[in-house]
Structure 1
Amino acid sequence: MHPSFDTMSMFKNRSLFTVTIDGIVEASLLASGDDTEVIYHRLSAGAYWTLEPESQENPANGPLETIYLTAGRLTVFSDSEELTLTEGDHISFHPVSRQIVFYGDMESTFLYICSKPVFHHYRSSLEEVNHLALTIEQKDGYTSHHCTRIMQMSMKVGQAMKLAPSELYTLQFGAYLHDVGKVRVPNELLNKPGRLTDSEWELMKRHTIYGREILLETGLPYLTQASLLVAQHHERHDGSGYPFGLKGADIHIGAAIIAVTDSYDAMTTDRQYRRAKPAADAIAEIQSLRGTLYHPDVVDAFLKCL
């Protein structure tokens, strides 16, 4: 006996679960059974998404994983290989033996079919990112939408510098969560209208260390990788930054990118203790600090993106 039209409509219009990360991805579990899941994805233009190999002794037993593109265009990267998927194309892996990075050339939607239940873990990891981002915004009003702006600007700079897709994927989350350590900084410091005392400033600077610790505590591989960028995003090219006083090539290039985009956004945004600078003044200041506070190649790419 065939299902009734009403029953078919119910399944047609309702996903089992939906989770999103603002400006990156939306995922909905459409169907699940016999250890197979069908997950709908919407990937924003300019955003990255990955498939990772399973950590197991016999990777040949990994699940079959298929991507079917329903709209848009995706570029797929794996090591030095690159291909483009357009509407109606699909690609399968059995198993995923190395990191596969997908880039949204435009806003794209696709079905991800996996012969092993993965959505529960996947949903938990995305909700963890959302929780961290929401916690930052609730803790520090200044960072409302600041994280998304830094992510978007940083990704443009990283692409202009031709970073590897895997580096861009890490930069995406490092930039988005660069200020997550502020959740462990007392409110009176974050919201203080005047300048901080020396002891208060030392405590404020620890938000970089706290941020790294928070991302490491998640145990999620992509956040573990991004934690290094979070720890170093206030390092400066000449060694005058914090918390480690790193300089030049010792600073992760992703952190050097966030340093510039974060500084620009801070200069052009009203703060508790000062008004925003005009964009032209902020640009002039960043240009004047090229090669001292900021990585010269990053500054050049940033100015081209502007």
Structure 2
Amino acid sequence: MDINPKDFIETVYVRGVQISLVASGDGTEIIYHKLNPGVRWALEPTEGWTALEYFLVLSGELRYPSDNGYKVLKPGDSFYRSPVTDHHIFQSYQTTEFLYITSQPIFHHYSKASHGIMDLAVSIEEKDGYTVDHCSRIKRWSMLIGEELGFNAKQLLVLNNASFLHDVGKVKVPLSILQKPGKLTPKEWEIMKKHTTFGRELLESTQVPSLVDAGPIVEQHHERYDGTGYPFGLKKNEISIEASIIAVVDSYDAITSDRVYQKGRPKEEAIEEIFRCRGTMYHPDIVDIFLSLQNKMI
């Protein structure tokens, strides 16, 4: 099936995804999607939402978890729910195109919420001195660990969002603090630590269910296994497992990345430090899985 871009009513680009409104009428919308390799896309239940949601794969492949392991949708395959009552998360393993049809209009809310919050996350990582791939790396590594732990579709969707958006609250931290080359003063450090709570509040304000659910994880991603983290000083299993995952991979990336105030260290040193802090700063089970997946952490 050929899709002519000239037929699109409106197109939005969200990192790794093209979303185009093809047709709309009587409350029904047909939306073209193009996903880059490795990108995830999801269907989730929403209170009061009763739409039929259907999509047809045009090219590429989508893999998704089911009760019997993973299933693969290939060109010509379709998937639908009416209404969506469970979480479903799909991943492209090559460039993938599909048509998504919904019996209730969603395009503008869907594209605006996704586009705005993702762009914000990328702008923050650049201001914070990271490369533009920092959020993507944290998401990719977190999802590898989540899959290894056997997370269900809802857990994977929420982890996907929380890991990419973990530092989004830094939008409320003054640049003079965020980009300071020297050590922060105690007062500046207290302001910096508030970014985790700012992030939760920002995600809750979107009223998008999967982003709202990601909020507490974002707020906890600087908590530490021994209770020395912030903002609440949570310890061990008081910390969500998703936040414990992000804590490990975010620390690894911070150690190995060049920043305004420090030069990145070799991967071998980062791995040694993560292992040395196993059971103190970091959840021991997460560290073990992280280390076992090192050959995939590229």
Q: Same fold (TM over 0.5)?
A: yes
Aligned to 1:281: 269
What is the distance in 2 between the residues matched to 1:141 and 1:274?
10
Aligned to 1:5: none
Matched, 1:37 2:29: yes
What is the distance in 1 between the residues matched to 2:89 and 2:238?
26
What is the distance in 1 between the residues matched to 2:61 and 2:126?
35
The correspondence for 1:199, drawn from 187, 199, 203, is: 187
Per-residue deviation, 1:79: 7.0
Aligned to 1:53: 45
Per-residue deviation, 1:80: 7.5
The correspondence for 2:135, drawn from 139, 147, 150, is: 147
Matched, 1:220 2:212: no
The correspondence for 1:117, drawn from 81, 86, 105, is: 105
Contact map agreement 2:129 2:260 (CA 8 A) in 1: no
Per-residue deviation, 1:81: 8.2
Aligned to 1:20: 13
Amino acid across the alignment from 1:152 = R
Per-residue CA deviation, residues 194-241 of structure 1 (Å, 9 max, x unaligned), is 111222212211111111111111211111111111100101111111
What is the distance in 2 between the residues matched to 1:241 and 1:40?
43
Per-residue CA deviation, residues 252-292 of structure 1 (Å, 9 max, x unaligned), is 11111110111011101112222111111111111111111
Aligned to 1:3: none
Contact map agreement 1:136 1:143 (CA 8 A) in 2: no
Q: What 5-or-longer segments of structure 2 have no aligned partner? A: none
Amino acid across the alignment from 2:128 = D
Give me the identity figure in percent.
47
In the TM superposition, what are the counterparts of 1:31-180 in structure 2 within 5 Å? 31-56=23-48, 62-77=50-65, 83-137=71-125, 139-142=127-130, 144-180=132-168
What is the distance in 1 between the residues matched to 2:53 and 2:201?
32
Amino acid across the alignment from 2:18 = E
Aligned to 2:169: 181
Contact map agreement 2:127 2:179 (CA 8 A) in 1: no
Per-residue CA deviation, residues 95-134 of structure 1 (Å, 9 max, x unaligned), is 2233333233444221111122221221122222234224
What is the distance in 2 between the residues matched to 1:189 and 1:143?
18
- Please say which of residues 151-160 and 273-282 is displaced more in the overlay: 151-160
Per-residue deviation, 1:247: 0.9
Per-residue deviation, 1:186: 1.4
Amino acid across the alignment from 2:6 = N
What is the distance in 2 between the residues matched to 1:73 and 1:222?
24
Contact map agreement 1:29 1:37 (CA 8 A) in 2: yes
What is the distance in 1 between the residues matched to 2:69 and 2:150?
15
Per-residue deviation, 1:14: 4.0
Per-residue deviation, 1:84: 3.1
Matched, 1:255 2:243: yes
TM-score normalised by length of structure 2: 0.90
Contact map agreement 2:118 2:165 (CA 8 A) in 1: no
Question: What is the Cα-based RMSD across aligned positions, in Å?
Answer: 2.3
Contact map agreement 1:48 1:168 (CA 8 A) in 2: no
Per-residue deviation, 1:77: 4.3
Larger Rg belongs to: 1
Q: What 5-or-longer segments of structure 1 have no aligned partner? A: 1-8
In the TM superposition, what are the counterparts of 1:6-17 in structure 2 within 5 Å? 13-17=6-10
Paired residues, number: 293
Amino acid across the alignment from 1:52 = E
Aligned to 1:6: none
What is the distance in 1 between the residues matched to 2:66 and 2:45?
12
- Please say which of residues 246-255 and 139-148 is displaced more in the overlay: 139-148
- Please say which of residues 296-305 and 133-142 is displaced more in the overlay: 133-142
Contact map agreement 1:78 1:99 (CA 8 A) in 2: no
Compared CA separation, residues 10 and 82, structure 1 to 2 (3 A): closer
Contact map agreement 1:20 1:126 (CA 8 A) in 2: no
